């Protein structure tokens, strides 16, 4: 499936909530190729990101990678804003269509995720925890999901403790083709950090949201 730029819709708000940790509103917007390409490429080339994602490549090469990723129907892509400033990228994926399914006994509804923190100044649990907690809340409130999984690089000494704060538990250490990872799982029945978020119905032209 080829990704076509002309088919890409403008970015729109998916959900948002007020974060007391950051004293700001965190807004999760749909990723837009034409709006966010250069921002994400810049982040991927940053020293604190490139060793893990291995996407410190030319813009042309990155465009090819991103086009293929956006074309996969089992993936959802988000840009997270703190106030008016983009600070993070999230990819959410269906485990049944991803290589991670080979590393544990998954259920067809399981969802996984990847996170990028753009600016190095935000590499801190005080930023990571509310961002991840937000996507977990949104996923569990809108999808028939019992399990959310992540598989961060085992060398990442900041993200794993932050994920534990959210409610993830270490399942196992795994060796994937491209990295050694820590497989972590968050179960619906064990998740305790529920919060009120404003979910927006993108089908409404006026952008009205509703409380969940």
- Helix/strand/coil percentages in the chain, nearest 5: 35, 30, 35
The strand pairing partners of 9, in sequence order, are none
Q: Global pTM?
A: 0.89
Q: Among 62, 76, 162, 66, which residue's Cα sits nearest to residue 117?
A: 162
Residue 24 inside a domain? The answer is yes
Domain count, the chain: 1
Residue 200 inside a domain? The answer is no
User: Structural domain of residue 181, as residue ranges?
Assistant: 9-192
Residue 152 inside a domain? The answer is yes
Q: Among 196, 19, 177, which residue's Cα sits nearest to residue 102?
A: 177
CATH code of the domain in which 45 resides: 3.40.630.30
Residue-level pLDDT, tens digit, the chain, 212 residues: 344 444 557 899 999 999 999 999 999 999 999 999 999 999 999 999 999 999 999 999 999 999 999 999 999 999 999 999 999 999 999 999 999 999 999 999 999 999 999 999 999 999 999 999 999 999 999 999 999 999 999 999 899 999 999 999 999 999 999 999 999 999 999 999 999 999 996 544 444 444 43
What 8-state DSSP symbol labels residue 153?
B
Residue 208 inside a domain? The answer is no
**108-140: string of b/e by CB count within 10 Å (b at 16+)?**
eebbbbbbbbbbeebbebebbbbbbbbbbbbbb
Residue 212 inside a domain? The answer is no
Residue 1 inside a domain? The answer is no
Residue 204 inside a domain? The answer is no
Residue 55 inside a domain? The answer is yes
Please check whether residue 88 is in contact with residue 24, taking contact to mean a CB–CB distance below 8 angstroms. Answer: no
Q: Which distant-in-sequence residues (6+ apart) come within 8 Å of 140 by Cβ?
A: 148, 188, 191
Count of helix runs (H) and strand runs (E) in the chain: 5, 10
């Amino acid at each position: 499936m080829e990704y076509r730029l002309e088919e890409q819709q403008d970015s729109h708000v998916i959900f948002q909530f007020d974060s007391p940790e950051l004293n700001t509103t965190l807004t999760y917007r749909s990723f837009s190729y034409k709006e966010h390409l250069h921002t994400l490429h810049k982040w991927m080339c940053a020293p604190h990101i490139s060793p893990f994602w291995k996407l410190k490549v030319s813009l042309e090469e990155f465009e090819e990678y991103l086009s293929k990723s956006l074309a996969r129907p089992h993936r959802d892509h988000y840009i997270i804003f703190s106030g008016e400033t983009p600070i993070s990228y999230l990819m959410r994926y269906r485990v049944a269509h991803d290589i991670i399914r080979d590393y544990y006994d998954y259920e067809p509804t399981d969802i996984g995720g990847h996170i990028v923190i753009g600016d190095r100044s935000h590499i801190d649990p005080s930023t990571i925890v509310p961002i991840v907690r937000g996507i977990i809340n949104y996923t569990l409130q809108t999808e028939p999901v019992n399990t959310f999984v992540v598989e961060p690089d085992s060398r990442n000494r900041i993200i794993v403790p932050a994920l534990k704060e959210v409610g993830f538990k270490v399942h196992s250490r795994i060796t994937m083709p491209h990295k050694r990872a820590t497989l972590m799982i968050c179960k619906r029945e064990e998740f305790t950090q529920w919060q009120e978020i404003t979910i927006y119905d993108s089908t409404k032209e006026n952008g009205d949201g509703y409380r969940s």
